[in-house]
């Protein structure tokens, strides 16, 4: 996810039971750091950078962590990975607050809400700790040293173009999104809708919200297929939206007739892509987001702020069933282990 701007992530996973949701991962990612906490990391290096992903169990963020880890090792920076195992603003805020108490050198974070995380993140800035957003961001970015993400609007446009081309630029399409108020998925939807307006023989017949549930997305897809006989494509804005939409198309017996475009390259999505159940994936580069975030933090801490770009939007890669085994495409697929 990457696929996780936001009330809940582009780009993710349903909240589990409260007992498991409260679980938090806190590990030092740099080899040789004696222990997992910020204090232990500080003992090994002058700079300790904390990365708080949208959730620790998502391959998108795990891939981001790997990129950040590699850059931290290169620069001699200690990287600490902390976060909740599920996407939850309620869980992320106390993690951010407790991280401030350790006084790290810099904070890298994928905020789970565009507004609710402003105050907790601003507390770092007031304590003279640079803050960089990765993947998702804030509605008010004034406090950020930098904001790094993929170009989600362009990604939505690319999904629309791919579906339209597959349908010979004729027919009805629909969007299945997660929830309103997520910066990344909102932009993907906006890009998709904007691009579809360019095709005079195509119509967007519905925009649904599945609350990040594949089961709900499947039900919505099946209803859309029954209601619109000329449906030629569905765009799912994240993992569960695309997965559910694809399952709905298969259940309706329309595999190969209705194109499903999704976002990200989680292992489950890639499997469906290779099977032709999902036809198109807009793939982000979370490893590069992680590398750039650590690099910006290092520059901010070493008096090289002139090198920092305030806003970075990374290009996306389009993967299709036909190109899924191409090494130049497959290298962008997400990892599952740090």
Q: What is the structure's pLDDT at 230? A: 97
Please tell me the predicted confidence (pLDDT) of residue 32. 36
pLDDT surpasses 50 at 12: no
Check residue 269 and give its pLDDT.
92
Q: Give me the mean pLDDT over the 199-214 stretch.
A: 96
Tokens representing 193 are 């809708």
| pTM tops 0.85 | no
Q: Work out the pLDDT band at 19, boundaries 50, 70, 90.
A: very low
Closest CA to 53 of 44, 45, 62: 62
Average pLDDT over the chain, rounded to an integer: 88
- What is residue 279's predicted lDDT score, i.e. its pLDDT? 96
pLDDT of residue 180: 86
Angle between helix 286-301 and 59-75 (nearest 10): 40
The pLDDT tens digits of the residues spanning 222-268 come to 999 999 999 999 999 998 999 999 999 999 999 989 999 999 999 98
The arithmetic mean of pLDDT across residues 30-55, rounded, is 64
pLDDT at position 38: 52
| Domains recognised in the chain with CATH numbers | 18-148+285-313 (3.40.50.2300), 152-284+320-330 (3.40.50.2300)
**pLDDT for 294 beyond 80:** yes
- 311-314, strands of its sheet edge to edge: 24-28, 78-84, 48-52, 106-109, 131-134, 146-150, 311-314
- Read off the tokens for 212: 């990040």
Q: Which residue has the higher pLDDT, 6 or 136?
A: 136
Instruction: Please give the sequence-ordered ranges of beta strands (E in DSSP) within 152-310, or none if there are none.
Output: 171-177, 202-209, 231-236, 259-263, 280-283
> What pLDDT score does 308 carry?
98
Q: CA angle at residue 72 from 44 to 57, to 5 degrees?
A: 105
What three-state secondary structure class fits 161? helix
**pLDDT tens digits, 141-194:** 999 999 999 999 999 999 999 999 999 999 999 999 998 878 889 999 999 999
pLDDT classification of 87: cutoffs 50, 70, 90? confident
Note the Cα 99 to chain centre separation in Å: 22
Examine the pLDDT at 315 and tell me if it is beyond 50. Answer: yes
Q: Tens digit of pLDDT for each residue in 95-152?
A: 999 999 999 999 999 999 999 999 999 999 999 999 999 999 999 999 999 999 999 9
The answer on pLDDT for 21 being more than 90 is no
Q: What is the pLDDT of residues 193-204, one digit of tens each?
A: 999 999 999 999
Mean pLDDT for 283-298 is: 97
Nearest to 282 by CA among 206, 202, 189, 181: 189
* pLDDT of res. 184: 87
User: What are φ and ψ of residue 303, in 5° steps?
Assistant: 70, 30
pLDDT band for position 338 (cuts 50, 70, 90) = confident
Please state whether 169 falls in left (phi above 0), alpha (psi between -120 and 50) or beta. Answer: left
């Amino acid at each position: 996810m990457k696929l996780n701007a936001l009330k809940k992530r582009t780009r993710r996973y349903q909240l589990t039971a409260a007992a498991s949701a409260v679980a938090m991962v806190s590990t030092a990612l740099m080899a040789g750091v004696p222990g997992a906490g910020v204090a232990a990391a500080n003992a090994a290096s002058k700079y300790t950078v904390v990365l708080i992903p949208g959730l620790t169990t998502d391959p998108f963020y795990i891939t981001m962590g790997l990129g950040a880890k590699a850059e931290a090792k290169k620069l001699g920076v200690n990287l600490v990975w902390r976060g909740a195992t599920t996407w939850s603003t309620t869980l992320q805020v106390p993690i951010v607050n407790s991280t401030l108490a350790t006084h790290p050198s810099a904070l890298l974070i994928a905020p789970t809400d565009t507004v609710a995380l402003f105050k907790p993140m601003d507390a770092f800035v007031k304590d003279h700790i640079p803050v960089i957003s990765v993947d998702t961001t804030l509605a008010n970015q004034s406090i950020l040293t930098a904001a790094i993400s993929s170009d989600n609007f362009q990604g939505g446009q690319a999904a629309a173009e791919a579906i339209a081309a597959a349908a010979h630029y004729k027919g009805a399409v629909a969007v299945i999104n997660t929830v309103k108020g997520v910066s990344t998925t909102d932009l993907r939807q906006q890009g998709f809708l904007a691009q579809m307006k360019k095709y005079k023989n195509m119509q967007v017949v519905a925009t649904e919200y599945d609350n990040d549930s594949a089961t709900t997305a499947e039900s919505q897809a099946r209803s859309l297929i029954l209601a619109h006989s000329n449906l030629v494509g569905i765009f799912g804005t994240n993992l569960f939206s695309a997965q559910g939409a694809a399952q709905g198309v298969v259940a309706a017996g329309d595999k190969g007739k209705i194109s499903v475009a999704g976002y990200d390259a989680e292992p489950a999505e890639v499997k469906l892509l290779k099977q032709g159940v999902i036809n198109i994936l807009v793939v982000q580069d979370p490893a590069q987001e992680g590398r750039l975030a650590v690099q910006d933090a290092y520059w901010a801490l070493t008096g090289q702020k002139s090198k920092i770009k305030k806003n970075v939007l990374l290009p996306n890669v389009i993967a299709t069933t036909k190109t899924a085994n191409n090494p130049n495409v497959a290298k962008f697929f997400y990892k599952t282990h740090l």
